[in-house]
Amino acid sequence: MLEQFFNNRNVYGTKIGFIGLGKLGMPCAEAVADKGFDVTGYDVVDKTSTKIAIKNSLQSVVEDRDIVFVATPTPHEDGYDGRTPTSHLPVKDFNYTAVKEVLSKCNKYMKPEQTLVLISTVLPGTTRRELSPLITNTCLLYNPYLIAMGTVAEDMINPEMVMIGTKNGTIETSWKAQQLEAFYNQVCDNYPRVEFGTWEEAESIKIFYNTFLSNKIAMVNTIQDIAHKLGNCDVDVVTQALAKSTMRITSSAYMKAGMGDGGACHPRDNIALRWLAKELDLGYDMFESIMTAREKQAENMAKAILEYGKNIYFTSDSYKPEVNMPDGSSSILLQHFVVKHGGQIANGIDTPVEVIVRIHETDQISADENTIIFDPWRTYPMADNVVYYAGRK
């Protein structure tokens, strides 16, 4: 069926519905129609289009569609869009009232053979906790878009990647996720990579993609502020040199979660930059946030380790494999928090221990069946006595 769907647009999967024809939904719906698909749409506000058929009710859109996309907004309250200061306000999640109402109505009218696809932005955990319980009659996929206002249609058909989230994250057991992948193979011009995962993984890829950009912008603008305050420093000279640094900064390097930052330079540089931020009166301190995060992440890991025992052996005190130096060691920082929360550091591998912590990804470990191996890198060969860090449950 999947091969037939991919090769023939006049068979199953060609009837597409869009619920929500706003800044996201309408350009995407029309882009799909431009590719030759039969597209209908509905919005609570009157809309017009020369490319898709606008229906007068949600039911009339979903009842004969093969795939129904929901592009209902998930807004913040007034004052939370960033045009005015928000850092002093109480933290708040998006508002899911409208999307819940739409999903409930879709569920009422849709059948098991249809596919319901949510493309609205939600925080990680929302689909499983609040949205999936509303869907009992059909399959719910989470499929957020990486688009920018002004280029929505172009971004939709030429995406950097397509994210498809399912209940269990296994594409092989979800023919509807395969069907959606085939749909994008027809719609997209650039044959994008497709990232499959659980609902939570797709939610996280989407929102952390955006916040990576926010952090990048905040960092280069910090350099701008420092250059302005410091004098004799052109921000463009600095940032352009960094932009050309493709070995580590603009690359896949350091994109594997594990132990914290360490070494003779990194932690101490951030600590010193805290002083400079204060000395230049920037009015903010990104570097304090970085160091606080580093320490809290180590403390969180220590607590996770202590769930499996109190007598802990660490495979290394060094900050880097093959380098016998403790400078800025994230291992020693981690040991600090293990002791703080009631653990004991074993002196040697021959000492009876309850947990062995694999500090470096290359560290070789020998342990009996009664010893837990705690691997922050999630690469130690799977065995009954291996425990992976909380980043994979």
* CATH of residue 102: 3.40.50.720
Residue 111 within a domain? yes
Residues 47 and 155 reside in one and the same domain: yes
Q: Are 259 and 331 in contact (CB under 8 A)?
A: yes
Residues 168 and 308 reside in one and the same domain: no
The CA distance from 367 to 388, in Å, is: 15
Domain termination residue (choose one: 145, 178, 208): 208
pLDDT score recorded for residue 347: 81
Residue 247 within a domain? no
CA distances from 189 to 64, 159, 192, 267 (A): 27, 9, 8, 44
Residue 101 within a domain? yes
Domain termination residue (choose one: 208, 234, 256): 208
Residue 242 within a domain? no
Q: Are 61 and 102 in contact (CB under 8 A)?
A: no
What would the 3-class secondary structure string for the chain be?
CHHHHHHCCCCCCCEEEEECCCCCHHHHHHHHHHCCCEEEEECCCCCCCCCCEECCCHHHHHCCCCEEEECCCCCCCCCCCCCCCCCCCCCCCCCCHHHHHHHHHHHHHCCCCCEEEECCCCCCCHHHHHHHHHCCCCEEEECCCCCCCCCHHHHHHCCCEEEEEECCCCHHHCHHHHHHHHHHHHHCCCCCEEEEEEHHHHHHHHHHHHHHHHHHHHHHHHHHHHHHHHCCCCHHHHHHHHHCCCCCCCCCCCCCCCCCCCCCCHHHHHHHHHHHHHHCCCCCCHHHHHHHHHHHHHHHHHHHHHCCCCEEEECCCCCECCECCCCCCHHHHHHHHHHHCCCEECCCCCCCCCEEECCCCCCCCCCCCCCEEEECCCCCCCCCCEEECCCCC
Q: Structural domain of residue 316, as residue ranges?
A: 292-388
Domain termination residue (choose one: 208, 241, 275): 208
Residues 118 and 14 reside in one and the same domain: yes
Residue 226 within a domain? no
Reading the chain (393 residues) residue by residue, the pLDDT tens digits are: 444 444 444 434 579 999 999 999 999 999 999 999 999 999 999 999 999 999 999 999 999 999 999 999 999 989 999 999 999 999 999 999 999 999 999 999 999 999 999 999 999 999 999 999 999 999 999 999 999 999 999 999 999 999 999 999 876 557 899 999 999 999 999 999 999 999 999 999 999 999 999 999 999 999 999 999 999 999 999 999 999 999 999 999 999 999 999 998 999 999 999 999 999 999 999 999 999 999 999 999 999 999 999 999 999 999 999 888 899 999 999 999 999 999 999 986 566 889 999 999 999 888 787 889 999 999 988 776 677 777 776
**Total number of domains constituting the chain:** 2
pLDDT score recorded for residue 14: 78
Residue 41 within a domain? yes
pLDDT score recorded for residue 329: 96
pLDDT score recorded for residue 368: 80
Residue 375 within a domain? yes
Residue 267 within a domain? no
The Cβ of residue 265 has, within 10 Å, a number of other Cβ atoms equal to 11
